[in-house]
Structure 1
Amino acid sequence: MRLLRKYRKRASRRHDNDNEHYRKGLKYQFGVGIKRDHDLALDCYRQGAQEGDFLSQQKVKYSKLSQRDLMINLIVMIIAITIGIIFNILWISVFVIGVTIAVFSIIGTQHYWHRKSFAYIMNWTSFFLTTLLIIPISTIIPYFNGITWIPITMMFTIGFFVFFGGILLFISEKEKQNIVIFVSGLFILVLTFAALSFETPGKKFIVREVDGGVEIAAYRSSDTHVEIPKRINNQKVVSIGPSAFYGEPIESVIVHDDIIEIKDYAFAHTRNLVEIELPKDIILSTGVFYGASSLTSVDLPDNMTSIPDELFFGATKLNQIEIPNTVTSIGDQAFAYTYALSEIEIPYGVLSIGSGAFMANHFTSLEIPDSVSTIGSFAFANAPYLAEVSLSTNISKISDNLFQNNYSLTTFTVPNHIIYIGKEAFLGAINLESISLHNQITHIGEGAFKNNYQLDNVSIPNSITSLSPHLFQQARSLKNITLPSTLVGIGDRAFSGASSLEQITLPNSITHIGSGAFEYNTSLTSIDLPSNLTFLGSGAFYGNTALTELNIPNQVKKIQSDLCYGCESLTTVTFANDITEIGDHAFYNNQMLKNIVIPGTVTSIGEYAFYGNSELETVTISEGVLEIKAYAFYGSSSLNEVNLPASLQTIDDGAFGGCLALDEIYLQNNLVTMGHYVFYGCSNLTIYLQMASVPETWTSSWNPEDLDLVLSHNP
């Protein structure tokens, strides 16, 4: 009955075909009411086909192999193999061929009905051959040989669809042959999971194709002991790529002799790496062992000519290394921060040492062979135990920051062949007590001796014409400094913070003193400025609490801002006759200053210029001054006499505020601008105004306390 229902169902699907031969053929094909016989069924279909029945013709057609399907499969096969050979991806070719044949085979199970025919047998043979052999081989073998995860993923996908496709076909048509499809899909899935359980090169390494073979691109295994394979996917492994093992928790590595190169940062931050075996002829690139903090020693290749930049940067446990005699250059930061490396021999033949090459090492002494002609900046910086250095006779320059923060360096004699000392060369050498400079030195760079706390006596050679900015900044113990007669300039903050400097003789050749040049020289009591001086920078004597007297030379035209800010012991200031301006905060908080005479060449007195000068008693402002800016004399609580010129046009906000002792002041009729609260807090003050009324140009709050005002006063 079930077969009859199936027969009727299929007959219905075929539009209730009325051809007697076709209907009889179906009975023989499915065994409905008679014994199943495919040969007799074929005879019936042939008779129906002769009568022109379309469905009978289709039955006859699919009793033989489809020429169209064969042709399509052949074309796909030719194209796939051609592409595979050209691009060396034969596994993909075989895979595509297998999938194509499998698809046509599955479709063929619905067409090839004659179970004794060659077509039926070949169709199922093709199905089993592709699903159970060709597809697995084309995916598992390349997977085992480490191409990628792609092939095994494809096989899993195919197995998944074949598995569920077989189930759906069986549910819809209830034919036993569909169980075979379902089982084949299950087999592929099981095979996939079995393959995934194996540790393969493709599972451990990701590779990319390069000239001559493949390159290790990444590592994806939990194995901490690594041996680089000679071949992957039947291709020669020739290099280890950039950052291939970056940050991996590996402990040991064996690199075989066929590897030509290890590229940039290949083993960077492999913090557990203790041991690595390298071939004798390998090429190492930048930062290969950067941050490999457990690495203790490495045998470098015998024919190495250059130590790459950052090769062992941060390899903090590296305690032994031998530089081959073939090396001619040591790269930037090649051995930086290798704290455990207490000694190293630089072979004769090395020509250059890069920037920061041995930075932050724990050497106590270092000898640079005479073959070296160039040493980069920071090469020996931050080496706290380095006390002695023998420099090559072929170098003429101490580069920038070369001995920065070398705490154990106490004395240094600059060799005669050195004529140039770079920027911050000895910055932070806090225990450097003495340095000997010879007369062939032509340049000493900015901040060269900055933060040399113990340096107490220095003689500048005659060959130096200018002191660079920050040269002796924070040289707290500096007491004696000898300057040559050839000196023409002192740079910004050259002696800033030299708190032990009590006196200094400036040669008359000096024309320029930079900003903050002597700031915070708290022991300096006096200084004779050279007569040829034309420029005195802002804050030049800022915070010099012991300075008592200052004479400004005639050629200085402007008092810069903050010149004597906080010079609380300053009692006398003499201005040059040609001075034109007094800058902001110039004499701020000079508490001992008693008398000031401002020459008529001055046109402007800056903001807060004499602010907080509590002992200031008299101020004479000569004819020619045009402007007194905001708070210029604010807080001068002892000021009792101020002489203002007729030329004065502007008095800005709070200029004389807090001048408690001031009892009278005379304002001339040229005064057109008056700021806010000009005499704030001057409670005893009487203001004598030469005008008949307060000008409208004055602010309404110039006298908010309504101090006594006498108008039309003509003294």
Structure 2
Amino acid sequence: MNRVENENFREGLKHELGLSVKKDYKKALEFYKKGMHEGHYMSRKKVLNTLPNVPSLIIATLFFIVSMTISLLNNAVWVGLLLSSIVFVIVGLANFNRYWYKTGYANIVHYMTLYGSMLVLIPLSTLLPYYNGVSYLPLTLLLIIGFFVFGAGLVFFISSRNLKNLFVLISGIFLTLISTLAYTIKTPDMLFIFDDIDADTVMIVGYRSSEVDVVIPESVNNKKVVAIGPNAFASSGIRTIEVGPHIKSIGNYAFANNPTLISAYLADGIQIGSGLFYNDYNLLEVRLPSDLKSIPSYTFYTATRLPHVEIPSGVETIGAYAFHKTNAITALNLPDSLYSIGGYAFSNMASLTEISIPEGVIAFGSGMFSFTVNLESFNIPEGVNYIPAYFLEGNLGITELTIPEWIEWIGDEAFKGMANLEKIHLHDEIVYIGSGAFRNTTSLKEAILPEMLETIEPYLFFNNPSLEVLSIPDHIKVIPQGAFSGTASLKSVVLPSELEEIHSSAFEGSGLESITLPDTVRYLGGKVFANNKNLVEITIPENVTRILESAFLGNSKLEVVNILGEITHVGDYAFKDNSKLKTITFGDSLVEIGKYAFQNATSLETIDVGNSLQYIRNYAFYGATNLESITLPDTVLRIEEGAFGQNASLETIYIGINATHVGRYAFFGCSNLTIQTAFSSIPSGWSEDFNPHNRPIVFGV
């Protein structure tokens, strides 16, 4: 029979759609059934569409069972709900126009499934992960969907004001309100970001709430919380935090950079990482686990207002910078279990005046009390046989210090900047004192170095202006760079009889009035005795062959320099500003006089440069206003710029046949000079301005 031309089918359509008759689904179904019995295809389809779509319902139900089972096993119910509800919505939308019999049970089940999924299951599946702290993304997605459905429903309802469109509009409003209101409701789980450790436990790795008073929950998302990860609450703005015994470990810097944090309670059984309260400078109270074994590095770094810390009795190690700049702490009770203290552990503690180190301690770190300026009393256990580098750097509270007899060595700059230290007692068994150990100890008056000391290190007593007495062991062979530079009150010192080398700036700026260099000395460094304003006389031993740069620079009282050996080079600035030096004699090995070597040696009257000199560098004798004559040997090759400038008393000078260069202004300001030379005319290699005042020149001498 024809699919459309069936009288019963036409009558069914009239009653279904209300065409010329009252809409009556029941009568329509009766006509469709008659048409079906007559073999009409479309009538049969209409009858079948009043029944549930069993295959799609079976598929959706099976998917629901499988997805929920898997999600339950993985403690992720929301995933199963979300996936199942999406499937039910898809099935509902696919069958949206199928069920024409609006009052039939199949259509009622269809609408319940569709709108139940949209308005119950989907919101529930997005709210669960949000309130369990798993993720806020599903809820955000629901908000977006709600806005979309609301907008679409509004457009549809305006264009066609029917019940279906109104229901879509109301659904959109409902979803939008649900998702918006959800953000205003707080649960403990949603405060924290966490990572799974295993199937049953999690670690808190972040904090996403503005709540300032925090209690760590025992569980989130139905899993036990057993750890707090690194940086979990860093810079989070919390005020107080309480961590219970269910937590086994707290990661590095977990509570760091919280200037608002004032109180922290840590239950027993918790192990903590480094920098836990790093830069929490308003922290006022903290309770540490009583069974804690280690206070790690940077734990209370710059917790400047923290007045007290009760260190647990079982603590064995304190890490580097653990109490750095805890300025309000006046005392620390260290437990007998302690055996190791890290570098700078108690540095910059402005209020700490005394501390007792347990006898069981065997290891000190560098800078342990660095810039703990008011520390007056401490002890060193017998198990520690050294004083580490920067140990008391910057201390102002100690005026006298006795080094215990079991100390064998002292590290670099250990006592640097102890401006009020007046006395130091060093026993003779100390074998090593590091570089700059007493640098800038500006009040120290006496230093008796140990007899067993193997070497003197650079800058050992650099800038000790009050040092008056210095004793150096007789076996020392080298005085290194800057070792006694700036010892302005040191008038004399007995140097070791076997001394071989005195390096650069070793006695620069000292107050030496006299010094005897042993015959064994073979090397004097640059600036070695520079700016010794009281030094009057010095004898340079015969093994010294070079006077290096600035060796005697600025020695305004130096009158006599005795040279016993053969000097080959006089360095730049070597005797610059030696205003009292009257005469100096070099042997026949002198080859070079450096630039500015005798500049402003205003009392210099005579100088013997020997018979091998080749080079006179720039401004070598500039301003030597009393120099009357100088005999230059024929070996001279170069007289450089300004070499004899402003030598007003210089009357004659001889320039030999090998002098291929005389520099610009070589004789500037020599108002009484007559120049004698072996040349018959001015050589081409001489500067046009070597004789700017046109002083007389005698050729062919």
TM-score range, shorter chain: over 0.9
What is the rounded CA distance, in whole Å, between the counterparts of 1:619 and 1:586 in structure 2?
A: 14
Does the C-alpha gap of structure 1 residues 70 and 645 become closer, same or farther in structure 2, counting only changes over 3 Å? farther
1:207, CA displacement in angstroms?
2.2
Native 8 Å contact 1:401 1:427 kept in 2: yes
2:180 paired residue number: 193
1:419, CA displacement in angstroms?
0.5
SS at structure 1 position matched to 2:378: strand
1:378 paired residue number: 367
2:572 paired residue number: 584
Native 8 Å contact 1:383 1:405 kept in 2: yes
Native 8 Å contact 2:243 2:267 kept in 1: yes
Residue type of the alignment partner of 2:501: H
**How is 1:61-100 mapped onto 2 (pairs within 5 angstroms)?**
62-66=49-53, 69-70=56-57, 73=60, 77=64, 80-81=67-68, 84-85=71-72, 87-100=74-87
Q: Choose 77-86 or 113-122, whichever is displaced more.
A: 77-86
- Tell me which of 199, 203, 208 is aligned to 2:195: 208
Aligned length, in residue pairs: 696
Once the two structures are superposed, residues 195-246 of structure 1 have per-residue CA deviations (whole angstroms, 9 ceiling, x without a partner) of 2111222443222223452222222333322211111111111122222222
Does the C-alpha gap of structure 1 residues 614 and 18 become closer, same or farther in structure 2, counting only changes over 3 Å? farther
Native 8 Å contact 2:132 2:190 kept in 1: no
Residue type of the alignment partner of 2:209: S
2:343 paired residue number: 355
Native 8 Å contact 1:148 1:202 kept in 2: no
Task: Return 5+ residue gaps in structure 1 as ranges.
Answer: 1-16
1:110, CA displacement in angstroms?
4.0
2:617 paired residue number: 629
2:677 paired residue number: 689
**How is 1:514-553 mapped onto 2 (pairs within 5 angstroms)?**
514-521=503-510, 523-553=511-541
Q: Does 1:134 align with 2:121?
A: yes
What is the rounded CA distance, in whole Å, between the counterparts of 1:641 and 1:25 in structure 2?
A: 141
What is the rounded CA distance, in whole Å, between the counterparts of 2:599 and 2:610 in structure 1?
A: 19
Residue type of the alignment partner of 1:150: L
What is the rounded CA distance, in whole Å, between the counterparts of 1:688 and 1:69 in structure 2?
A: 123
1:101 paired residue number: 88
1:507, CA displacement in angstroms?
1.6
Does the C-alpha gap of structure 1 residues 97 and 552 become closer, same or farther in structure 2, counting only changes over 3 Å? same
What is the rounded CA distance, in whole Å, between the counterparts of 2:13 and 2:430 in structure 1?
A: 112
SS at structure 1 position matched to 2:595: coil
Does the C-alpha gap of structure 1 residues 671 and 53 become closer, same or farther in structure 2, counting only changes over 3 Å? farther
1:501, CA displacement in angstroms?
0.6
Does the C-alpha gap of structure 1 residues 502 and 173 become closer, same or farther in structure 2, counting only changes over 3 Å? same
- Tell me which of 422, 425, 443 is aligned to 2:414: 425
Native 8 Å contact 1:466 1:491 kept in 2: no
1:454 paired residue number: 443
Q: Choose 87-96 or 483-492, whichever is displaced more.
A: 87-96
What is the rounded CA distance, in whole Å, between the counterparts of 1:466 and 1:27 in structure 2?
A: 118
Does the C-alpha gap of structure 1 residues 26 and 676 become closer, same or farther in structure 2, counting only changes over 3 Å? farther
Task: Return 5+ residue gaps in structure 2 as ranges.
Answer: none
Residue type of the alignment partner of 1:230: E
2:278 paired residue number: 290
Q: Choose 465-474 or 64-73, whichever is displaced more.
A: 64-73
Does the C-alpha gap of structure 1 residues 94 and 656 become closer, same or farther in structure 2, counting only changes over 3 Å? same
Once the two structures are superposed, residues 79-114 of structure 1 have per-residue CA deviations (whole angstroms, 9 ceiling, x without a partner) of 644663565422122112213322442453344333
SS at structure 1 position matched to 2:169: helix
Does the C-alpha gap of structure 1 residues 526 and 103 become closer, same or farther in structure 2, counting only changes over 3 Å? same
Q: Choose 302-311 or 596-605, whichever is displaced more.
A: 596-605
Native 8 Å contact 2:567 2:586 kept in 1: no
Q: Does 1:157 align with 2:170?
A: no
- Tell me which of 299, 305, 323 is aligned to 2:287: 299
Identity %: 35
Once the two structures are superposed, residues 583-620 of structure 1 have per-residue CA deviations (whole angstroms, 9 ceiling, x without a partner) of 11111111111223232212221111111212222222
2:397 paired residue number: 408
Does the C-alpha gap of structure 1 residues 71 and 692 become closer, same or farther in structure 2, counting only changes over 3 Å? farther
2:498 paired residue number: 509
1:72, CA displacement in angstroms?
5.9
1:663, CA displacement in angstroms?
2.4
Does the C-alpha gap of structure 1 residues 57 and 476 become closer, same or farther in structure 2, counting only changes over 3 Å? farther
What is the rounded CA distance, in whole Å, between the counterparts of 1:290 and 1:351 in structure 2?
A: 24
Q: Does 1:593 align with 2:581?
A: yes
Native 8 Å contact 1:413 1:437 kept in 2: yes
1:3 paired residue number: none
Does the C-alpha gap of structure 1 residues 45 and 593 become closer, same or farther in structure 2, counting only changes over 3 Å? farther
Q: Choose 276-285 or 38-47, whichever is displaced more.
A: 38-47
Native 8 Å contact 2:464 2:487 kept in 1: yes
Native 8 Å contact 1:604 1:628 kept in 2: yes
Q: Does 1:475 align with 2:464?
A: yes
What is the rounded CA distance, in whole Å, between the counterparts of 1:50 and 1:582 in structure 2?
A: 131
1:281 paired residue number: 269
Native 8 Å contact 2:443 2:467 kept in 1: yes
Q: Choose 261-270 or 418-427, whichever is displaced more.
A: 261-270
Pairwise CA RMSD? 2.6
Residue type of the alignment partner of 2:530: Y
Residue type of the alignment partner of 1:201: P
What is the rounded CA distance, in whole Å, between the counterparts of 2:108 and 2:51 in structure 1?
A: 10
1:649 paired residue number: 637
Does the C-alpha gap of structure 1 residues 168 and 142 become closer, same or farther in structure 2, counting only changes over 3 Å? same
What is the rounded CA distance, in whole Å, between the counterparts of 2:180 and 2:23 in structure 1?
A: 41
